[in-house]
Structure 1
């Protein structure tokens, strides 16, 4: 009986990891496409089939402001703390990718169209921000944390 309880507990604790690998919902570490360094932890959530992402943690150098504000934003996020800010919104499943959304770059305050897709068996997320058409943009790889 103890063995069955152990197996049931093990299966229940492992199964969410398998379920999450087919969805971008979860916690992601974004890697800067220029420096190659981690910049933030972003929590992606889903509500009625629409994804959004909020910054949960920032990775800062010792000489950088530990609580930066979005000084260059020109919408309601202007001068708001970047920590806790929604930077990804409106993405919906479209085949193997999620598209139709927007992503904010808090460093320059600009909002770009966005799309993304899972790679490496759901362990990585390729996030593209662009102007007009996807060819005119840049991509980042985010690494799943949970």
Structure 2
């Protein structure tokens, strides 16, 4: 009986640990001042990873639209916008996708990964050729 309980405990812990390693969920995006700017929901659809702005923290910015975006995102509300799309898993990273910066209206290639030894921090890198910027998003509790 003791062995069975130990086994069940270990299996439950293993399942919890594996779930904690997932990039999906809600993440806090920070501005340059270190304040939470928005909440991004990262989700899986058709085997790919996407990110959608589900909440903009400043109430006065919630009705903003992407005036600088091109194509189908032009003049669309930023809150509710899918800003990250098309990433697929490659090793311990998700690559091959794109991310939009609604403030600049620019789209960049993108890759994301969980910070080593801390699955509650998501590294998000947007890049154009050899230039890149990496931000750290924090998992919402």
TM-score range, shorter-chain basis? 0.7 to 0.9
Q: Aligned runs of 1:105-120 on 2, under 5 Å? A: 105-119=101-115, 120=117
Looking at both structures, which has the greater relative contact order when contacts are Cα pairs under 8 Å and sequence separation is at least 6?
Answer: 1
- In structure 2, the partner of 1:49 is 47
Structure 1 runs (4+) greater than 2 angstroms displaced? 14-20
SS in 1 for 2:17: helix
1:124–1:108 distance in 2 versus 1, CA, 3 Å: same
RMSD: 2.2
Q: Which residue of 2 aligns with 1:142?
A: 137
Q: Secondary structure at the match of 2:52?
A: strand
Shift of 1:16: 7.3
1:48 shift after superposition:
3.0
C-alpha displacement at 1:115, in angstroms? Answer: 0.5
**SS of residue paired to 2:72:** coil
TM-score, length of structure 2 as denominator length: 0.83
Segment drifting more, 14-23 vs 110-119 = 14-23
Give the gaps of 5 or more residues in structure 2. 1-7
TM-score between both structures, scaled by the size of structure 1: 0.80
Higher share of residues assigned strand: 2
- Aligned pair count? 131
